Protein backbone atom coordinates (compact mmCIF):
# COMPACT_ATOMS: atom_id res chain seq x y z
CA UNK A 1 0.00 0.00 0.00
CA UNK A 2 1.33 3.41 -0.96
CA UNK A 3 0.53 6.45 1.18
CA UNK A 4 1.42 10.09 0.83
CA UNK A 5 1.77 12.81 3.39
CA UNK A 6 1.52 16.56 3.28
CA UNK A 7 -1.19 18.98 2.33
CA UNK A 8 -2.71 19.37 -1.13
CA UNK A 9 -1.19 22.00 -3.35
CA UNK A 10 -3.07 25.29 -2.98
CA UNK A 11 -3.02 25.76 -6.75
CA UNK A 12 -5.09 22.61 -7.28
CA UNK A 13 -8.21 24.75 -7.17
CA UNK A 14 -8.36 28.22 -8.70
CA UNK A 15 -10.91 29.21 -6.05
CA UNK A 16 -8.31 28.54 -3.34
CA UNK A 17 -5.83 31.17 -4.53
CA UNK A 18 -5.48 33.91 -1.91
CA UNK A 19 -6.56 37.33 -3.09
CA UNK A 20 -8.30 35.94 -6.15
CA UNK A 21 -11.36 38.07 -5.53
CA UNK A 22 -9.49 41.22 -4.52
CA UNK A 23 -9.99 44.11 -6.93
CA UNK A 24 -6.79 45.63 -8.33
CA UNK A 25 -6.40 49.16 -9.61
CA UNK A 26 -6.32 47.82 -13.17
CA UNK A 27 -9.62 46.00 -12.53
CA UNK A 28 -11.31 49.23 -11.43
CA UNK A 29 -9.87 51.18 -14.35
CA UNK A 30 -10.83 48.64 -17.02
CA UNK A 31 -14.28 48.02 -15.52
CA UNK A 32 -14.85 51.77 -15.52
CA UNK A 33 -13.72 52.08 -19.13
CA UNK A 34 -16.10 49.27 -20.12
CA UNK A 35 -18.92 50.97 -18.26
CA UNK A 36 -18.30 54.40 -19.79
CA UNK A 37 -17.97 53.01 -23.33
CA UNK A 38 -21.13 50.94 -22.87
CA UNK A 39 -22.96 53.97 -21.49
CA UNK A 40 -22.20 55.93 -24.65
CA UNK A 41 -23.41 52.99 -26.74
CA UNK A 42 -26.58 52.89 -24.64
CA UNK A 43 -27.12 56.59 -25.28
CA UNK A 44 -26.82 56.09 -29.05
CA UNK A 45 -29.15 53.09 -28.88
CA UNK A 46 -31.63 55.19 -26.90
CA UNK A 47 -31.85 57.54 -29.90
CA UNK A 48 -32.33 54.95 -32.63
CA UNK A 49 -33.95 51.89 -31.07
CA UNK A 50 -37.57 52.88 -31.52
CA UNK A 51 -37.79 52.75 -35.35
CA UNK A 52 -35.62 49.63 -35.38
CA UNK A 53 -37.73 47.68 -32.88
CA UNK A 54 -41.06 49.14 -34.08
CA UNK A 55 -41.72 46.47 -36.73
CA UNK A 56 -41.29 43.71 -34.13
CA UNK A 57 -43.75 45.44 -31.84
CA UNK A 58 -46.21 45.77 -34.73
CA UNK A 59 -46.01 42.04 -35.51
CA UNK A 60 -46.30 40.95 -31.88
CA UNK A 61 -46.57 43.48 -29.04
CA UNK A 62 -43.78 42.71 -26.61
CA UNK A 63 -41.50 41.21 -29.26
CA UNK A 64 -39.56 44.48 -29.44
CA UNK A 65 -37.63 43.20 -26.44
CA UNK A 66 -35.83 40.80 -28.81
CA UNK A 67 -33.41 43.66 -29.46
CA UNK A 68 -33.26 45.07 -25.96
CA UNK A 69 -30.20 42.97 -25.15
CA UNK A 70 -28.12 45.91 -26.39
CA UNK A 71 -28.84 47.53 -23.02
CA UNK A 72 -27.64 44.44 -21.14
CA UNK A 73 -24.18 43.66 -22.45
CA UNK A 74 -22.13 45.91 -20.14
CA UNK A 75 -22.59 43.78 -17.03
CA UNK A 76 -21.95 40.50 -18.82
CA UNK A 77 -18.84 41.78 -20.60
CA UNK A 78 -17.51 43.32 -17.39
CA UNK A 79 -18.08 40.09 -15.50
CA UNK A 80 -16.36 38.01 -18.19
CA UNK A 81 -13.28 40.24 -18.25
CA UNK A 82 -12.83 41.32 -14.61
CA UNK A 83 -13.97 38.03 -13.04
CA UNK A 84 -14.39 39.46 -9.57
CA UNK A 85 -17.48 39.70 -7.35
CA UNK A 86 -19.43 42.83 -8.16
CA UNK A 87 -17.97 43.33 -11.64
CA UNK A 88 -21.24 42.77 -13.49
CA UNK A 89 -23.20 45.13 -11.25
CA UNK A 90 -20.44 47.75 -11.32
CA UNK A 91 -20.03 47.91 -15.08
CA UNK A 92 -23.77 47.90 -15.78
CA UNK A 93 -24.33 50.61 -13.18
CA UNK A 94 -21.53 52.80 -14.55
CA UNK A 95 -23.02 52.40 -18.03
CA UNK A 96 -26.47 53.38 -16.73
CA UNK A 97 -25.09 56.41 -14.88
CA UNK A 98 -23.21 57.60 -17.98
CA UNK A 99 -26.32 57.11 -20.10
CA UNK A 100 -28.36 59.07 -17.56
CA UNK A 101 -25.83 61.89 -17.37
CA UNK A 102 -25.63 62.25 -21.13
CA UNK A 103 -29.41 62.28 -21.26
CA UNK A 104 -32.19 59.73 -21.56
CA UNK A 105 -35.91 59.99 -22.19
CA UNK A 106 -36.65 57.84 -19.12
CA UNK A 107 -35.05 60.03 -16.49
CA UNK A 108 -31.89 59.51 -14.50
CA UNK A 109 -33.27 57.65 -11.48
CA UNK A 110 -35.24 55.09 -13.49
CA UNK A 111 -32.31 54.54 -15.87
CA UNK A 112 -29.98 53.82 -12.96
CA UNK A 113 -32.59 51.52 -11.39
CA UNK A 114 -32.75 49.60 -14.66
CA UNK A 115 -28.97 49.28 -14.71
CA UNK A 116 -28.98 47.94 -11.16
CA UNK A 117 -31.64 45.32 -11.96
CA UNK A 118 -29.87 44.21 -15.13
CA UNK A 119 -26.45 44.07 -13.50
CA UNK A 120 -27.80 42.06 -10.57
CA UNK A 121 -29.35 39.55 -12.97
CA UNK A 122 -25.98 38.83 -14.55
CA UNK A 123 -24.12 39.01 -11.22
CA UNK A 124 -26.31 36.33 -9.65
CA UNK A 125 -25.42 33.87 -12.41
CA UNK A 126 -21.67 34.46 -12.06
CA UNK A 127 -22.06 34.06 -8.29
CA UNK A 128 -23.93 30.75 -8.71
CA UNK A 129 -20.83 29.45 -10.51
CA UNK A 130 -18.66 30.80 -7.67
CA UNK A 131 -16.92 33.22 -10.03
CA UNK A 132 -14.92 30.29 -11.35
CA UNK A 133 -16.57 29.37 -14.67
CA UNK A 134 -16.62 31.72 -17.63
CA UNK A 135 -17.37 29.37 -20.49
CA UNK A 136 -19.75 30.31 -23.27
CA UNK A 137 -22.79 28.70 -21.66
CA UNK A 138 -22.21 30.65 -18.44
CA UNK A 139 -22.00 33.87 -20.46
CA UNK A 140 -25.29 32.96 -22.15
CA UNK A 141 -26.89 32.26 -18.78
CA UNK A 142 -25.54 35.54 -17.38
CA UNK A 143 -27.05 37.36 -20.36
CA UNK A 144 -30.35 35.59 -19.73
CA UNK A 145 -30.09 36.61 -16.08
CA UNK A 146 -29.63 40.23 -17.11
CA UNK A 147 -32.69 39.77 -19.32
CA UNK A 148 -34.70 38.52 -16.36
CA UNK A 149 -33.61 41.58 -14.37
CA UNK A 150 -34.68 43.85 -17.21
CA UNK A 151 -38.02 42.10 -17.67
CA UNK A 152 -38.94 42.21 -13.98
CA UNK A 153 -37.98 45.87 -13.67
CA UNK A 154 -39.74 46.90 -16.89
CA UNK A 155 -42.96 45.01 -16.23
CA UNK A 156 -43.22 46.50 -12.75
CA UNK A 157 -42.17 50.01 -13.74
CA UNK A 158 -43.50 50.55 -17.25
CA UNK A 159 -46.08 47.88 -18.04
CA UNK A 160 -47.95 46.98 -14.84
CA UNK A 161 -51.39 47.31 -16.44
CA UNK A 162 -50.66 45.57 -19.74
CA UNK A 163 -52.34 42.34 -20.83
CA UNK A 164 -50.90 39.02 -19.74
CA UNK A 165 -50.19 38.09 -23.38
CA UNK A 166 -47.98 41.16 -23.78
CA UNK A 167 -46.10 40.41 -20.59
CA UNK A 168 -45.44 36.79 -21.60
CA UNK A 169 -44.14 37.78 -25.05
CA UNK A 170 -42.05 40.59 -23.55
CA UNK A 171 -40.55 38.27 -20.93
CA UNK A 172 -39.63 35.54 -23.40
CA UNK A 173 -38.21 38.03 -25.90
CA UNK A 174 -36.23 39.87 -23.24
CA UNK A 175 -34.60 36.73 -21.86
CA UNK A 176 -33.76 35.45 -25.36
CA UNK A 177 -32.24 38.80 -26.29
CA UNK A 178 -30.22 38.84 -23.09
CA UNK A 179 -28.90 35.35 -23.74
CA UNK A 180 -27.91 36.00 -27.36
CA UNK A 181 -27.04 39.68 -27.60
CA UNK A 182 -25.69 40.32 -24.10
CA UNK A 183 -24.46 36.79 -23.39
CA UNK A 184 -23.12 35.10 -26.49
CA UNK A 185 -21.98 38.27 -28.28
CA UNK A 186 -20.22 39.52 -25.14
CA UNK A 187 -18.41 36.19 -24.88
CA UNK A 188 -17.27 36.45 -28.50
CA UNK A 189 -16.20 40.06 -27.95
CA UNK A 190 -14.20 39.07 -24.87
CA UNK A 191 -12.42 36.34 -26.83
CA UNK A 192 -11.71 38.73 -29.68
CA UNK A 193 -10.20 41.29 -27.33
CA UNK A 194 -8.16 38.58 -25.61
CA UNK A 195 -6.68 37.43 -28.92
CA UNK A 196 -5.37 40.95 -29.56
CA UNK A 197 -3.43 40.87 -26.29
CA UNK A 198 -5.50 43.69 -24.79
CA UNK A 199 -6.51 41.48 -21.84
CA UNK A 200 -3.07 40.07 -21.04
CA UNK A 201 -3.29 41.32 -17.44
CA UNK A 202 -6.51 39.40 -16.86
CA UNK A 203 -7.33 35.74 -16.43
CA UNK A 204 -9.67 36.11 -19.41
CA UNK A 205 -6.75 37.01 -21.67
CA UNK A 206 -4.39 34.40 -20.27
CA UNK A 207 -7.02 31.68 -20.61
CA UNK A 208 -7.65 32.41 -24.29
CA UNK A 209 -3.89 32.66 -24.97
CA UNK A 210 -3.29 29.30 -23.31
CA UNK A 211 -5.85 27.64 -25.56
CA UNK A 212 -4.52 29.26 -28.72
pLDDT digits (tens, 9 = 90+) for 24-38: 999 999 999 999 999
- Would residue 62 count as lying in a domain? yes
CATH of the domain at 144: 1.10.1760
- Would residue 18 count as lying in a domain? no
Domain that holds residue 48: 24-197
pLDDT digits (tens, 9 = 90+) for 83-104: 999 999 999 999 999 999 998 8
Q: Looking at residue 212, what is its pLDDT?
A: 59
Query: Could you tell me the pLDDT band of residue 18, with boundaries at 50, 70 and 90?
Result: low
Q: Looking at residue 195, what is its pLDDT?
A: 93
- Would residue 14 count as lying in a domain? no
Query: Could you tell me the pLDDT band of residue 138, with boundaries at 50, 70 and 90?
Result: very high
Q: Looking at residue 206, what is its pLDDT?
A: 85
Q: Do 117 and 160 contact (CB within 8 A), yes or no? A: no
- Would residue 16 count as lying in a domain? no
Q: Do 187 and 139 contact (CB within 8 A), yes or no? A: yes
- Would residue 150 count as lying in a domain? yes
Query: Could you tell me the pLDDT band of residue 11, with boundaries at 50, 70 and 90?
Result: very low
* Domain count for the chain: 1
User: Residue 4: pLDDT above 90?
Assistant: no
- Would residue 128 count as lying in a domain? yes
pLDDT digits (tens, 9 = 90+) for 52-61: 999 999 999 9
Q: How many CB atoms lie within 10 A of CB 149?
A: 26
- Would residue 86 count as lying in a domain? yes
pLDDT digits (tens, 9 = 90+) for 153-173: 999 999 999 999 999 999 999
pTM: 0.89
Of 87 and 1, the structure prediction assigns the larger pLDDT to: 87
User: Residue 6: pLDDT above 50?
Assistant: no
- Would residue 19 count as lying in a domain? no
The overall average pLDDT reported for the chain is 91
Amino acid sequence: MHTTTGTPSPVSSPLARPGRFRWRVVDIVVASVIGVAAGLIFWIWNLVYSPITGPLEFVAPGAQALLYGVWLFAGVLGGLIIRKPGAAVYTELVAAVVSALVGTQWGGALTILSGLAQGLGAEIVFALFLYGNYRAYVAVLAGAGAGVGMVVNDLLTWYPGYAVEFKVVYAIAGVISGAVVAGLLSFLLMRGLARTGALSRFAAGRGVAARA
